[in-house]
Structure 1
Amino acid sequence: MAQRFSSRTQSKLGTGGGRTPRDRARRELSQNFLVDRHAVESFVALANPCGLVLEPGAGEGALTLALAGHGAEVIAYEIDPLPAAKLTARTRRHPEIRVVQGDFLRARPPRTPFAVVGNIPFSATTEIVDWCLNAPALTSATLLTQLEYARKRTGDYGRWSLRTVLSWPRFTWTLHNRVPRSAFRPIPAVDAAILRIDRRPHPLVADRSSFERLVRLGFSGIGGSIGASLKTRHPHADSALSAAGIAPGTVVAYVHPDQWLALHAALTG
């Protein structure tokens, strides 16, 4: 992983203690490279890359070469000049790989279909996911994230986040394999997981704006329940909630994204 965000490694060293400039750079750039060969192979197999693939935080290229080996055309982004230079030299004879020394978050999304596959810095997860969701030609994103983040975004705790619900009409979110922290160097403080985000072939809601307004109202927290929040603008919300199979007193986080679709249909149909 390599971006402009702080590290979350297990190291608790202070500013001294013999830390080298390279150690400090790794910490500042949140670099935790995936070094376990089996984890690399499993991750790439799950990503199933083909066509154009953008890789955030390529590091020295463990995933980059594996992605290209599976037939992908890879644009590898690495903000740290040293590993970027090493990767450039390492891939000089691979015309299917282009290395960009720069910040992935500043990249302009391609206009043609592409996927994002990467072992991303944990501290940049939200920004990278948002970049992916806002890229019109993105087909999928297969990302190594903190285990907790992946569980929250996929409803694995039985609760659903605002970000997941808002994007549900356009994207599916799937939690895949857990990756132990021991698979990385330096070793991070937490385990990781593979999060897969896929664009749906056809959006499930035609009026995206009205769906998002409804969801944001429900998540506003007014009244402490979804029924209380919705009644501030929808006096007859109880009948729509009933049609969607939602009890009015339900805490908003426990409303499944599919129920939000049914609720929207009941209120706008």
Structure 2
Amino acid sequence: MYTLKKSLGQHFLKDESVCQRIVAELQKQPFQRLVEVGPGGGALTKYLLELKAVDFKAVEIDDEKVKYLSKTYPQLADKIIHKSFLDIEPPFAEPFTVVGNFPYNISTQIVFKIMEWKGAVECMVGMFQKEVAERIVARHGSKVYGVTSVLTQAWFDTEYLFQVDEDAFNPPPKVKSAVIRLLPRKEPVPMHSEKRLFNLVKTAFQQRRKTLRNACKGLFDAATLQDEIFNKRPEQLNVADFAALTFRMQ
């Protein structure tokens, strides 16, 4: 068998109905290439290997899990990428889908990695700590709307799919989990540049209780700061508002 490593944020799925539901959600979007992040003990992997006409790869950093998966599922022999997902290049030359019960200690970093690959990722269905999932899908005006919400939604449509209780895992985490879906936006949000958007959004939410005028005064000239939009706090702006402001930055 294998051991669980807290250092890698490992909470393995054991509830078959949850695994089946993730695969069902995954199949709502057509795909030919699939990457599983952190297969661990293979609870989800065994269902993914049954999918027909799919080029499949699994990314796993843990030596012990790689050996276990290779022995338990011989068909994985040449399909495992033995690295951290955060350190790899896109695993396919053509567009692909991403799925996984993501390690909670790097789940936000995984989302930012997918943002880096936005031209290649057709869909993502992933398990997150519930509060992280809620933050990713949050709309403006919400208390949990923030940097991750805006930057993810600048390039992806986000959808909260379902909650997963603690007893679906081994060991049970101390928090509830949730599965969400990301799909590339059909219409890109006009912006000056990604660099400006990242800078603006991170600066604004560093002092989220302040008005935009006070939080971002170093990014705009005095005349621009007189606009009424700067009377608002950052959570009151939607993604398009932030993107539009990138054209007015110094």
What is the SS of the residue equivalent to 2:5? helix
Report how far residue 150 of structure 1 moved: 0.7
> What is the number of residues matched between the two proteins?
238
1:1-269 aligned within 5 A:
25-48=4-27, 50-71=31-52, 72-93=54-75, 98-109=79-90, 110-135=92-117, 136-155=119-138, 157-208=142-193, 209-219=195-205, 221=207, 224-230=210-216, 232=218, 233-234=220-221, 235-239=223-227, 241=229, 248-261=230-243, 267=248
For structure 2, list consecutive stretches of 5 or more residues without a partner in the other structure: none
For structure 1, list consecutive stretches of 5 or more residues without a partner in the other structure: 1-21, 242-247
Q: 1:188 to 1:253 in 2, by over 3 A?
A: same
1:8 paired residue number: none
Which piece of structure 1 moves more, 180-189 or 154-163?
154-163
Report the identity percentage: 24
In 2, the alpha carbon distance for the partners of 1:212 and 1:29 equals 28
Deviations 1:177-224 (A, max 9, x none): 001111011111111001222222342215324444443453353992
Q: TM-score, normalised by structure 1?
A: 0.76
In 2, the alpha carbon distance for the partners of 1:223 and 1:30 equals 32
Q: TM-score, normalised by structure 2?
A: 0.81
Deviations 1:78-121 (A, max 9, x none): 222232222112332468x7123332222211332011100011
What is the SS of the residue equivalent to 2:74? coil
RMSD: 2.8
In 2, the alpha carbon distance for the partners of 1:92 and 1:222 equals 51
Report how far residue 44 of structure 1 moved: 1.3
- Check conservation: 1:222, 1:228, Cα contact below 8 A: no
In 1, the alpha carbon distance for the partners of 2:104 and 2:199 equals 29
In 2, the alpha carbon distance for the partners of 1:98 and 1:75 equals 5
Deviations 1:7-54 (A, max 9, x none): xxxxxxxxxxxxxxx65x522222211111110011111122621111
- Check conservation: 2:155, 2:185, Cα contact below 8 A: yes
- Check conservation: 1:36, 1:184, Cα contact below 8 A: yes
Q: 1:236 to 1:35 in 2, by over 3 A?
A: same
1:12 paired residue number: none
Which piece of structure 1 moves more, 203-212 or 31-40?
203-212
